[in-house]
Chain A
Amino acid sequence: MSLYQQVRALLYKEIVLEWRSRYALNGILLYVVSTIFVCYLSFRGLQAVTWNALFWIIMLFASINAVTKSFVQESRGRQLYFYTIASAQAIILTKIIYNVFLLFLLAVLALFFYGIVFTNPVGDPALYLLAVVLGSISFASVFTLISSIASKASNSSALMAILSFPVIIPLLILLIKLSKNAMDGLDRASSYNEIAVLLAINLIVITVSLLLFPYLWRD
């Protein structure tokens, strides 16, 4: 099978598995909604800068929780089975693509609910949505490989946070800046720099993941 066919089959399997036991999906959606509600009850009103920063912090924690399970939940036996029928690149690529969709869904839902409880005018909604898309891609690409690293060690959930925070911070800084530009409704040309750097970092991270993952699973 070609890489494309493998990725498609594996992606289908991920979605079917997720849909059958919806508890993981529902759990993470409930997690983000209740976090927002806790924030609402503790902050009440927010200033524009805080509104933006808080949204990304909520997304950061929800994303870590959502992605951590991508390698931990599968039993050793099942992983061994996948490894005999698919290439390592196909597996990591599938996980990244699947996590991008999952995190995008999560982010859109979070943004919708967040916008209801904390009303805040966004100057350029299309650009803000682009920031959310780029954010989902960045979180997914960074956290997927790190979750597979963390799943190999004991105490993986604590390790996941320690390993991923320093790596995600540069991306988070750029995302907050980009979405702040969108919120203020600045001219789009002023955000091209951030978008380009974000895309470049993601390209590097995904390439490095594809190169490194074969060393991780052979174990």
Chain B
Amino acid sequence: MQKNWWKILASVLILYSVIAGFLFEVPRLPILHESIRNLYFHVPMWFTMIVLYLISVIYSIKYLSSGDEKHDLIAVEMVNTGIVFGFLGLVTGMIWANFTWGSPWPNDPKLNSAAIATLMYMAYIVLRGSMDEEQKRAKISAVYNVFAFPVMLVLLFILPRMTDSLHPGNGGNPGFNSYDLDSQMRLVFYPAVIGWILIGVWIANMRYRTRLIEINS
């Protein structure tokens, strides 16, 4: 029970954000209208993905210094779960874009960057598949993971800011915070972010433990 409090917290927060996200008052803005509620689902997916990839890189570095097989397993399961959240982020974003920007894939730097980042981690999975020997696979994929991460950060956080983008916070557009994320929305948005991050870590954790059982039996 003492160990599991964060899982209960995650479930409560998600449940709260879904109910409150659909029922609470939201500001009426032109173009966005009710679709602004997607903020509670679309943005947390990306935050979760980044957190999972970050944990994965930390464990890849740990693997390189320790050579402990468990660290490699954690790194790969974090990436596996992160890719799922990346796809969910793309899908929720495409639905949103279809209603507000007129097409599911407008030529927007942030969309393209997100797609490329997803490709990068799928390449990581392919690289793992191409080697049979466990230690070699763990070491080489850890090296690629550490190598790709800084480039992904540039891709997601620096490049979109240098060009015009439809997303808030890019190309001179102010971020959501400064004008339209009012305090009412914050009450739902922040719990949603924390809840989804915890759920992501939980899923990855379960996958890791399943793998551990498979290996030991």
Residues 140-173 (chain B) with a chain A CB within 8 angstroms: 140, 142-144, 146-148, 150-151, 154-155, 158-159, 162
Task: Encode contact with A along B97-124: 1 for CB under 8 Å, 0 otherwise.
Answer: 0000000000000000100110110010
Looking at A13-21, A23-31, A79-87, A150-158, the stretch in contact with chain B turns out to be: A150-158
Question: A205 vs B140: C-alpha distance in the bound complex, in angstroms?
Answer: 17
Are A204 and B150 neighbours in the complex by a CB distance under 8 Å?
A: yes
CB distance from B49 to the nearest CB of A (A): 15
| List of B residues within 8 angstroms of A154 by Cβ | 130-131
Check A167 against B151 for contact (C-beta < 8 Å). yes
Which of B116, B130, B158 is close to A166, meaning CB atoms less than 8 Å apart? B116
Q: Are A162 and B146 in contact (CB under 8 A)?
A: no
Contact with B along A163-174 (1 / 0, CB 8 A): 101110110011
A155, B151: Cβ atoms under 8 Å? no
Nearest-Cβ distance from residue A92 to partner chain B, whole angstroms = 12
Are A166 and B120 in contact, CB atoms less than 8 angstroms apart?
yes
A149 touches B127 (CB 8 A): yes
Are A162 and B123 in touch, CB under 8 angstroms? yes
CA distance A216 to B153 in the complex (A): 23
How many A-B contacts if CB must be within 8 Å? 79
Instruction: Specify which chain A residues have a CB less than 8 angstroms from the CB of B139 in the assembled complex.
Output: 215-216, 219
B126 interface residue, CB < 8 Å from A? yes
- Within the complex, which residue of B131, B136, B146, B159 is in contact with A208, where a contact is CB–CB below 8 Å? B146
Does residue B64 face the partner (Cβ distance < 8 Å to A)?
Answer: yes
- Asked if residues A152 and B136 are in contact (CB atoms below 8 Å), the reply is yes
Number of interface residues of A (CB under 8 A): 29
Q: Is the CB of B147 within 8 A of A167?
A: yes
Question: Does A197 touch B at the CB level, under 8 Å?
Answer: yes
Cross-interface CB contact of B143 among A162, A193, A194, A212, cutoff 8 Å? A212
Q: A154-B130, A155-B130, A166-B123 are in contact. Are A201 and B147 (CB under 8 A)?
A: no
On chain A, the residues within 8 Å of B130 by CB distance are 153-155, 159
| Contact, CB under 8 Å: A170 / B151 | yes
Residues of A within 8 A of B119 (CB): 165-166
B123 and A208 contacting across the interface, CB-CB below 8 Å: no
A181–B111 Cα distance when bound, in Å, is 24
Contact with B along A188-219 (1 / 0, CB 8 A): 00000110010001001100110010011001
A166: B residues at CB distance < 8 A = 116-117, 119-120, 123, 148
Given contacts A145-B147, A201-B154, A209-B147, contact A153 B123 (CB under 8 A): no
Query: In the bound complex, do residue A162 and residue B126 qualify as a contact, i.e. CB atoms below 8 Å apart?
Result: yes
Which partner residue on chain B sits nearest A219 by CB separation? B136
Contact B147 A212 (CB under 8 A): yes
A161 CB → nearest B CB, Å: 9
Contact present for A215 and B64 (CB under 8 Å): yes
Contact B131 A152 (CB under 8 A): yes
Docked CA distance A169–B126 (Å): 19
B158 CB to nearest chain A CB (Å): 7
CA distance A145 to B120 in the complex (A): 15
> Which interface residue of B113, B120, B136, B142 has the most chain A CB atoms within 10 A?
B120
Q: Which residues of B lie under 8 Å from residue A159 when comparing CB positions?
A: 126-127, 130
Name the distance in Å between A84's Cβ and chain B's nearest Cβ.
20
The closest CB in chain A to the CB of B109 belongs to: A173
6 A-B contact pairs sorted by A residue (CB < 8 Å): A152-B131, A165-B123, A173-B159, A204-B150, A212-B147, A215-B64
Nearest first, the 6 closest Cβ-Cβ pairs linking A and B are A166-B120, A153-B130, A166-B119, A170-B155, A162-B123, A212-B143
A-B contacts besides A154-B131, A193-B162, A208-B146, 14 pairs, CB < 8 Å: A149-B140, A153-B130, A159-B127, A162-B127, A166-B116, A166-B148, A167-B148, A170-B113, A174-B159, A201-B154, A205-B151, A209-B147, A212-B143, A215-B142
